[in-house]
Structure 1
Amino acid sequence: MHDFEAFLAPAKINLFLHIVGQRSDGYHLLQTAFRLLDYYDTIHIKTTNTGIIKRVNDVAGVPEAQDLCVRAALLLQKHTGCQLGAEILVDKKIPMGGGLGGGSSDAATVLLSLNQRWQLNLPREELLTLGLQLGADVPFFIYGSNAWAEGVGEQLQALTLHDAYYVVLTPNVHVSTAQIFANKQLTKDTIPKTIAAFSGIAQLSTENSAGKNIHDEFINQLEKVVCSIYPEVKASLDWLKQFGDARMSGSGASVFLEVNDAETANRIYQQKPKEYFGFVAKGLNQHPLLCK
């Protein structure tokens, strides 16, 4: 029916991550601030009239049946009864298992783009509910702007953040999220904070030079446990901390430093140890598909 069309799937970082409780089903209740980055996977989609969903390229370590892109397309197809199909080509740049949301972002981009390409016109709220079935981070990418998140990550409020650049490093180690959340040393009953308190501190940081951009009250509570188990993460964080208030994103392994301008970010990045994968990115205010 159509040729392939390219859709961007941005990375994210967690500016902080607190665990404030645990549900009876075992899911942890979180508070976090999600920030979109202008560093992308690209999802190429060709709609077909066969009704078949298939991925047309190999993705290392991800069997087609487990690929969130394929699962997202099948879920949307089943939910709407759509008779159309799709061929999906996934061009990965965001490191997998790095706490940068690549798989979740890819899934959200498939839902957003096929909703358009298949002319389903589902409202965003309905897509958010579908996205949650695929993973806790998927709704954020469908939501489409920087957000304060609670619950398991699906309760979202828009967050206004100042322009900033990020040096992101990903050590060559795969952190098991389940292992970290099961760790006995993890604090799981932090007193909830307010979006107002975070927003006030986030705005103050524009007046500061690079360094204390995120207040000490807002930390990543997984960071200490991850660093105790994975020395590679601790080493990359320690290296980045010499330049300012570096943080870990999500459950790792990626770490990041917020700075005020691209020149500073690139200068720091050029000094990084060769064994670390990394990139420099600017914070986005909205998802590239938000207006589509």
Structure 2
Amino acid sequence: MKFARLGDPGSEQPAVQPGGSGAGEKWYSLAGLTADIGGTFLEGGGISRTREALAAGNLPELTGAAGLRVGAPLSRPGAVIGIGLNYAGHAAESGAAVPDVPVVFLKPSNTVAGPFDDARIPPSSVKFDWEVELAVVIGRRASYLAPTEDAMGCVAGYVLANDLSEREYQLPGAAGQWVKGKSLPGSTPLGPWFVPAEDLDPSSLRLRTWVNGEPRQDSSTADLIFGVPALVHHLSQFMVLEAGDVILTGTPEGVALSGRFPYLQDGDVLELEAEGLGRQRQNLRRASGL
């Protein structure tokens, strides 16, 4: 299944598309099951209730879905948690050692945007960068998980994410801080859809990016240093993970920070893709003010 939220910002409608061959491109309205797709829906058995409703033919088709804006597939999460340097190749191109434990940072939840919304380059930005990522969606509360094996029981599913980053804010000098470079408006496009955990194996998904049609990143989640179970377990030792929270698992090599490619400029077109999770497209625009 694919879950989406379709419509203008602030007025998105929850929708689902069945999986399996012959499912076609029809979207079905979830308005009779839930007002939105978020933590309450996930923790309350929303995925299983949706499967049952689809099997019973109880969901009406969402007419005109193809003409609606695609929003982030999840309502505003309580927390967006980033993992840095989680691919050896990206650590190397960043000039950093491969970490012994996950590098963790937080992004404000108001950075979440739709997958096709324009991306705004900050007025003073000179090093605006892209990062294609597999994002994990938490489905139930996780705190001080004991065995690592328990972690997957807390995962609701997966989405494609872009962790747009301003490197000049993030890294150089005494004032360089990851949170500063990762907190910009609209800097976490999610979607186009959310896929339940039981419908997707996250262990070997191809991740790619293009800028103006030219390839940049091309890697696989098989190269993650810390995989999904290890990340969820690790984070649960330091914070309470709640249903609807999103974990960005890190980006592979091929970003502008490597020095091999120019940073994003006004007018650029950025495209990202994750196997099984769809494709994003963002037009880059210089913001005149925040």
- Confirm or deny a common fold (TM above 0.5): no
TM-score by length of 2: 0.25
Bigger share in helix: 1
